[in-house]
Structure 1
Amino acid sequence: MKFLTSCCALLALASFTQAETLKINGSTTVNLPAAEGAETLRAEKKMDIQVDTQGGSSGGISALGDGQVQVGMSSKPVSDDDRAKYPNVKFKPIHIGEDAVAMIVSKDVWDGGVKSLTKEQTQDLYEGKVKNWKEVGGPDERVVFFNKEPGRGTWEVFAHWAYGDPKKAPQVSLPEVGGNEETRNKVGSTRGAISQLSSSWADGKKVFALGIKTESGEVLQPTPENIATHKYPMSRPLFLITNGEPHGEAKVFVDFMLSPQGQELVKKHGYLALDQLKTETP
């Protein structure tokens, strides 16, 4: 009897310990400040937090929908398709900052004279109609387009800008990249390379963020001012997402990321914090 009682007590303790683990998954962009925030809470509040980036933004939304995590990280809004797939989940996006997606290129392309692209030029590069950089004023170098995995928040922001709707983006056969670090490393080590990436990851040494040239000829850069006012067309919000109002350990984490200390982490990693954003009065 004592043995059974001890076993039951141990099982109850194991279940309690498991329930206390806060699981977070999603965007590699949001992960930078979130992972550092989690580290702070582990140290200061002895919280048990597990942070992963499996599947990017879509992976985070799906993991939340499937009940595998308490918090999803996303650099794209929750779509109608996501809500239809999980009708019993009350997705609550919590805005923690702002970022921008840029077309980034390798050093040889940048040094060869490509500093900005129009939407049409970007489409032609993506669809393989432009195969050499000299066709858009660059070096005599073959174009190597590394495409973000469809479903990644970065890819969806790009597809919205380039085609108006990700569903309208043509099917392409391009080498794919996943997280931000992988993307930067691939572009930085490949001649003639281009990809979509969070602008804060462009280091200006091996990979460079291009401006967007408008129809009027104005070149829009992903500067803090242009991102804050959404003048730069590939600006995007960064979210933590919960199922309904956050509670328990999830609320502690969300509240921390919205606090001055958490918002400083957002700024530290090159994103705009909420107090830096500018909204227009209707």
Structure 2
Amino acid sequence: MHRFITPFFLISGLMMSSCSDKKPTLKITGSTTVNLAVAEAAEALRGESDTKIFVDTQGGSSGGITAIGEGTADIGMASKPLTKSDRDRFPGVDLKVTQIGADAVALVVNADVWKGGVKSLTRKQVQAIYEKKITNWKDVGGADEAIVFYNKEPGRGTWEVFANYAYGSADKAPEVSHPEVGANEETRTKVATTPGAISQLSMAWADNETVYALNLTDNDDASVAATGSNIASGKYPMSRPLNLITRGEPTGKAKVLVDYMLSEPGQKLMEKHGYLPLSRLK
């Protein structure tokens, strides 16, 4: 699946124009998951606008929410629902959420784990692996191989969705030391190149060639695959909204981009990058 990611140096170069350049600037920051479609939308809008658009993924979803709460960005990108604690961090700030699509978080494994026989995990097995109570794939039906768990770094929406599935709430997840990964591309590369590896990853990045997405159990203990229909229905237990966040209702240039993402061209970008458009969620 082709994915368009605007090179950082090209975007930042637009921001380094001469001081005499008085073009308005639109700053967007946050989730690497939401960034795929938004960065491509920004490219399209640059060609028909007098606005300089700066897109980055500093700090993931948490960074995007913080930037809006502190007023240092115009649009935040978040690949998770906003929680009460997110809002409580910024009293008096109206964090307006606009959903532009949906995604799922997968637990992905290295090809050797998949080919060794591990295709699905139960919630209890996920907890035991995360807490290092299970440290070898043979204990969950796989080959005799050590488990290497790459954990998403703090602030990533992907980790919060995973923790909500495994423990019912991110606040209930125990503190466990694992090597950490950040953006989706880094996560996929680490898992693909590390024998015995597993991590949490946006489903759109699970190509089932270099990394493989495991089925998970739902509340009825049935094994559920991360298919479009299961994500849309909410049956898959790690589904999540993809959001744009603004301070109050979006206005000006921010509204132009938000409206674009809700339009037919923007929704086609969501599908292009492997996400569910809003029409699939009705």
Q: TM-score, normalised by structure 2?
A: 0.91
The CA deviation at 1:215 is: 6.5
SS at match of 2:208: coil
What do the CA deviations read for 1:201-257 (whole angstroms, capped 9, x no partner)? 011111000001346552101100001111111110000000001001000010001
Is 2:143 aligned against 1:101? no
- Structure exhibiting the larger radius of gyration computed from Cα positions: 1
- Summarize the Cα distance change of 1:214–1:252 in structure 2 as closer, same or farther, 3 Å threshold: closer
What do the CA deviations read for 1:100-150 (whole angstroms, capped 9, x no partner)? 001000000000000010000000000000010000001111000000113
Q: Distance in 1 between matches of 2:156 and 2:87?
A: 17
User: In structure 2, which of residues 117, 120, 124 is the aligned counterpart of residue 116 of structure 1?
Assistant: 120
Matched with 1:17 is 22
Aligned-pair RMSD on alpha carbons? Answer: 1.5
User: In structure 2, which of residues 77, 81, 85 is the aligned counterpart of residue 81 of structure 1?
Assistant: 85
The CA deviation at 1:17 is: 2.7
The CA deviation at 1:200 is: 1.1
The CA deviation at 1:97 is: 0.1
Q: Distance in 1 between matches of 2:124 and 2:22?
A: 54
User: In structure 1, which of residues 229, 232, 243 is the aligned counterpart of residue 233 of structure 2?
Assistant: 229
Q: Distance in 2 between matches of 1:23 and 1:202?
A: 29
What do the CA deviations read for 1:55-88 (whole angstroms, capped 9, x no partner)? 0000000011111101000011222222222112
User: In structure 2, which of residues 22, 25, 32 is the aligned counterpart of residue 28 of structure 1?
Assistant: 32
What do the CA deviations read for 1:3-41 (whole angstroms, capped 9, x no partner)? xxxxxxxxxx959837x1000000000000000000000
Q: Which one-letter code corresponds to 2:129 in the other structure?
A: L
Structure 2 matches for 1:76-225, cutoff 5 A? 76-214=80-218, 216-225=220-229
SS at match of 1:45: coil
Structure 2 matches for 1:58-77, cutoff 5 A? 58-77=62-81
Q: Distance in 1 between matches of 2:50 and 2:110?
A: 43
- Summarize the Cα distance change of 1:176–1:231 in structure 2 as closer, same or farther, 3 Å threshold: same
Is 2:209 aligned against 1:243? no
- Summarize the Cα distance change of 1:41–1:168 in structure 2 as closer, same or farther, 3 Å threshold: same
Matched with 1:57 is 61
Q: Distance in 1 between matches of 2:170 and 2:94?
A: 24
- Summarize the Cα distance change of 1:42–1:258 in structure 2 as closer, same or farther, 3 Å threshold: same
Q: Distance in 1 between matches of 2:224 and 2:236?
A: 6
Q: Which one-letter code corresponds to 1:181 in the other structure?
A: E
Unaligned runs of 5+ in 2: 1-17
Q: Which one-letter code corresponds to 2:143 in the other structure?
A: P
- Summarize the Cα distance change of 1:140–1:96 in structure 2 as closer, same or farther, 3 Å threshold: same
Number of aligned positions between the proteins: 265
Q: Which one-letter code corresponds to 2:120 in the other structure?
A: S
Is the Cα contact below 8 Å between 2:217 and 2:237 reproduced in 1? Answer: no
Is 2:272 aligned against 1:277? no
Q: Which one-letter code corresponds to 2:199 in the other structure?
A: S
Q: Distance in 2 between matches of 1:168 and 1:15?
A: 52
Is the Cα contact below 8 Å between 2:218 and 2:235 reproduced in 1? Answer: no
SS at match of 1:88: coil
Q: TM-score, normalised by structure 1?
A: 0.91
Matched with 1:3 is none
Q: Distance in 1 between matches of 2:234 and 2:48?
A: 36
| Percent of matched pairs sharing the same residue | 60
SS at match of 1:44: coil
